[in-house]
């Protein structure tokens, strides 16, 4: 006979401090049961007041205006290692203690509802190839608190479709950088104290595929770097224009290659057939453009021709992620022809995609030293001023701490009092024992 384990659930277990006097039983057991959006709810742990139709007493919270900060994987990794006694670097004691200060400040500001650090597909992919996947995930989810960016291709395609719409309407393209359009929840919601995380039990296949993809991209970058070295007579502007104009051609070529495979799947390898079943972003983008162009009256017989006309428009550098990525690649090309011997490291390609995708939407971004130095070169530095995004790296980590400190200083006494009433006076203590508790 199978033994059955019984689990006893008491709704009182969900009620937590801070407690105030219950209006029903007069006991100081009227606690918090949930915090969401712009209100919180109380219920009595003693008498379960309120009962009946109204199961909770709701109280409104003021609107928030959080700063959005993107933390690259390097920062997440350094904070994880300084907190995690299971890492070799932690046991050796070779880590820079300043990362404890960074963790403390970021976590405190997140709890104060002043900042949010959304996670992204890049965090997931870069963590999954690490032996500390779950630990890295624990840190970036601690800061994102359930706010996740749409995948990078969706964000990029959104920009292109908005640009294509303006092209069809013959109107001026003006990029929209509303952060709420590219995240899965409202960034200005008051956060509950509970974080729900989904665990991935089998990640080996996915991690192997990500490693292969990263290695392939890196090899392409190395070949490109060697090619740039030979183009001594070319200017920064030449590389920028060539890169931005080439985007549409690459998309169209990728789609035509897919069509050939789709029509003759039997003559291709297993990997190529897989590409037919799971089409690339180039294919997805063309399909999205087809749908858009049809809405604007383009006949099906003329769709590809009209889309090709659009993809070869000289104005692709108006699209933010194409503009920023083209600037950074032009900067690398200039370094190559200026005598830099070593090609960019494997992380540079990811850094370029991250900056190009998220930079215009966030208030601040913490990136790798190499990418930071590239952003600080002119004319790149001048071009990106229009986005009003502050950027930091390990070499400017003191400035980053100062930036975070200024955010905290802007807090009103009223806001602090609300935090104490809703979360309790111990709420702002940093979670240094995240890996030992």
pLDDT in tens, 388-422: 999 999 999 999 999 999 999 999 999 999 999 99
Residue 36, judged by CB atoms within 10 A of its CB (0-12, 13-18, 19+), counts as middle
| Residue 203 near residue 133 (C-beta atoms within 8 A) | yes
| Mean predicted confidence (pLDDT) in 286-299 | 95
Average pLDDT, the chain: 88
Calpha distance 132→145 (Å, rounded): 20
Check residue 156 and give its pLDDT. Answer: 95
Q: Is the four-CA dihedral 21, 25, 26, 28 of positive or negative sign?
A: negative
| Mean predicted confidence (pLDDT) in 103-129 | 94
Q: Which residues contact 174 (CB under 8 A, 6 or more apart)?
A: none
Check residue 210 and give its pLDDT. Answer: 72
| pLDDT greater than 60 at residue 125 | yes
Six-digit token pair at 231?
């183009």
| Residue 336 near residue 236 (C-beta atoms within 8 A) | no
Strand partners, 44: 30
Whole-prediction pTM: 0.91
Calpha distance 216→219 (Å, rounded): 5
| Residue 247 near residue 282 (C-beta atoms within 8 A) | no
How, if at all, do strands 30-36 and 67-71 pair? unpaired
Alpha helices (H) along 115-170: 121-128, 133-144, 152-169
Six-digit token pair at 346?
């494997």
């Amino acid at each position: 006979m199978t033994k059955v384990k019984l689990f006893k659930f008491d709704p009182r277990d969900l009620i937590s401090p801070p407690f105030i006097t219950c209006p029903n039983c007069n006991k100081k057991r009227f606690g918090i049961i949930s915090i969401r959006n712009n209100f919180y709810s109380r219920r009595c742990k003693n008498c379960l007041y309120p009962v009946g139709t109204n199961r909770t007493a709701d109280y409104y919270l003021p609107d928030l205006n959080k700063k959005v900060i993107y933390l690259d994987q390097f920062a997440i990794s350094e904070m994880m290692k300084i907190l995690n006694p299971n890492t070799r670097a932690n046991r050796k004691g070779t880590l820079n203690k300043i990362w404890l200060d960074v963790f403390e400040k970021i976590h405190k500001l997140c709890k104060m509802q002043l900042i949010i650090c959304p996670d992204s597909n890049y965090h997931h992919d870069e963590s999954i190839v690490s032996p500390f996947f779950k630990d890295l995930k624990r840190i970036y989810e601690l800061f994102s608190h359930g706010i996740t960016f749409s995948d990078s291709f969706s964000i990029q395609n959104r920009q292109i479709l908005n640009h294509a719409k303006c092209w069809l309407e013959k109107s001026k393209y003006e990029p929209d950088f509303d952060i709420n359009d590219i995240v899965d929840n409202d960034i200005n919601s008051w956060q509950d104290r509970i974080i729900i995380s989904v665990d991935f039990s089998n990640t080996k296949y996915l991690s192997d595929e990500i490693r292969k993809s990263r290695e392939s991209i890196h090899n392409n970058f190395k070949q490109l770097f060697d090619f740039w070295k030979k183009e001594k007579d070319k200017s920064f502007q030449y590389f920028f224009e060539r890169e931005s104009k080439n985007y549409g051609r690459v998309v169209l070529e990728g789609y035509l290659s897919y069509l050939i495979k789709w029509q003759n799947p039997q003559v291709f390898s297993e990997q190529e057939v897989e590409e037919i079943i799971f089409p690339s972003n180039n294919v997805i983008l063309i399909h999205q453009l087809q749908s858009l162009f049809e809405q604007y009256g383009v006949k099906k017989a003329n769709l590809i021709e009209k889309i090709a006309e659009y993809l070869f428009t000289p104005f692709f550098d108006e699209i933010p992620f194409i503009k920023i990525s083209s600037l950074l690649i032009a900067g690398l090309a200039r370094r190559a022809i200026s005598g830099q011997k070593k090609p960019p490291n494997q992380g540079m390609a990811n850094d370029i995609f991250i900056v190009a995708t998220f930079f215009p939407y966030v208030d601040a971004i913490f990136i790798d030293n190499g990418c930071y130095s590239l952003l600080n070169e002119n004319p790149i530095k001048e071009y990106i001023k229009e986005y009003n995004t502050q950027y930091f790296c390990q070499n400017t980590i003191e400035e980053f701490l100062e930036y975070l400190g200024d955010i905290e200083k802007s807090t009103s006494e009223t806001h602090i009092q609300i935090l104490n009433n809703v979360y309790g006076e111990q709420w702002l203590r940093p979670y240094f024992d995240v890996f030992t508790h």
